[in-house]
Amino acid sequence: MNKLSFDKDEKIDLKKHTVAYMLQLACLEPIFASRCYRVIIAILELIEDGDEKEEIINLIKTKNDFINATYHDSILQIWHYYVISNYDPMVNIDELITTFGYDEINPIILASFVKKNSSDNKAIFGYIKRKYSEVVNKDGEEAYWMKSIMFSKWWLPVLVIHLKDEKDYFKFYQSNNFNIIYKEMKIDN
């Protein structure tokens, strides 16, 4: 039995208004972020109509810029993008990366956007490689980033891409820099 229920013949769209309220509450009191986003997830799970679900996802996405500017690298931001990654089938990774501008995207957020055998995984991996190379690049060594990326904050999305994708982006997964332990994890899946 669901804990949430809405009248099918409602004259006021309570689902949409509840989501809007939960977004406001999460932004005003970030300590409630996990609870608010769990309510939003429960509402999205109740909705069967694709157009209605898309309308709510678009409502959630209207908060992207505010959340990125105000709650960058926070649990609220992670929950926000977790919901988008799981309930927006039309998410555009290039647009997402652009939305963040010069701010780095939290690796946990990136990991949530990795999908099984998706072409977007290459864009995510490229973003990670570019951001990490900006920090550790050595003159004359184009592949220097490979040596230590798995010891950086980027290890999680890089590993998730490996586990969910069949492609060897930038020839990293077959290199000696990608430990055999990680390679064996994929075999066990």
Query: Looking at the predicted structure, is the pLDDT value of residue 6 above 60?
Result: no
The predicted-structure confidence for 50-75, as pLDDT tens digits, reads as follows: 889 999 999 999 999 999 999 999 99
Residue spans per domain, the chain:
1-91, 92-189
Phi-psi region of 124 (alpha: psi -120 to 50; beta: other; left: phi over 0): alpha
Give tens-digit pLDDT for 93-140: 999 999 898 899 999 999 999 999 888 999 999 999 989 988 887 656
| pLDDT tens, residue by residue, 152-170 | 899 899 989 988 887 888 7
Choose the weakest-confidence range: 1-10, 100-109, 128-137, 171-180.
1-10
Which of 35, 15, 16, 103 has the alpha carbon at shortest distance from 67? 103
